[in-house]
Amino acid sequence: MRLAGKVAVVTGAASGMGKAIAELFAAEGAQVVVSDLRIEPAQAVAADIEAKDGKAIAIACNVAKEEDVQHLIESAVQQLGTVDILINNAGIMDNFVPAAELTDELWDRVFAINTTGPMRTTRKVLPIFLEKKSGVIVNVASAGGLQGSRAGAAYTAAKHAVVGFTKNVGFQYASLGIRCNAIAPGAVNTNINTSINSPNAFGMERAMAGIQINPRVGTPEEIAKVALFLASDDSSFVNGTVVTADAGWTAY
């Protein structure tokens, strides 16, 4: 029970890695806020956790909207007393669109969800963490935030920004009892591909150029175990860094 007594907020938790993280955290003793744009599947995840003697509530949240982020964290505090752990998992892909064909609309949407969302949730929980001199943030970045072409231009830039934001927050608040790290998953079997609609042929061809060296596809549960390590005291000396979980894909 490595998270006993903790309250964890997980965004994008209705499916995939977020769902696996929420379920594992609950099994490890945390009270979990299952947050997602889609409230019905989020409620189903929370109900399943409760059925297994865990503790969870579901809160609808579009991380691209400031008012939703405010409501998410305020509701978590009102219903569960505080927030100890924030997992910024919500994200979308970008149809592999290369820079020459990138629109302002796509760029803004990808950044709003993948980068601005984590900034807003982090900004909202930091006063809570500062008051307690304790708190953990885990951002789900991507191998695309470390490499140049695992997706389109917008996704790549947005995830690179998440990595930089993680390092900044981790170092600046390190002396105040707060840690901030990121996970960079490689290919993982989730439903994020449902956010891909009519992928750009040129961009996808370039992004897939190295797929043959990928050792294997991971599972959401494998990423959840990394998140548990980073959220627990097991990683008390780990801060402001990125843990790559990709079976060695980026090591080539």
List the catalytic residues. Answer: 155
CA 232 to CA 11: how far, in whole Å?
18
Q: For 87-133, give the DSSP string.
A: EE------TT--GGG--HHHHHHHHIIIIIHHHHHHHHHHHHHHHHT
Residue 27 CB-half CA count within 13 A: 12
52 close to 73: Cβ distance less than 8 angstroms: no
Range list of H helices, the chain: 16-27, 39-51, 66-80, 104-111, 117-132, 153-172, 201-207, 220-231
Name the burial class of residue 197, with classes exposed (0-12), middle (13-18) and buried (19+) by CB atoms within 10 angstroms of its CB. exposed
Beta bridge partners of 180: 137
Q: Which amino acid is at 145?
A: G
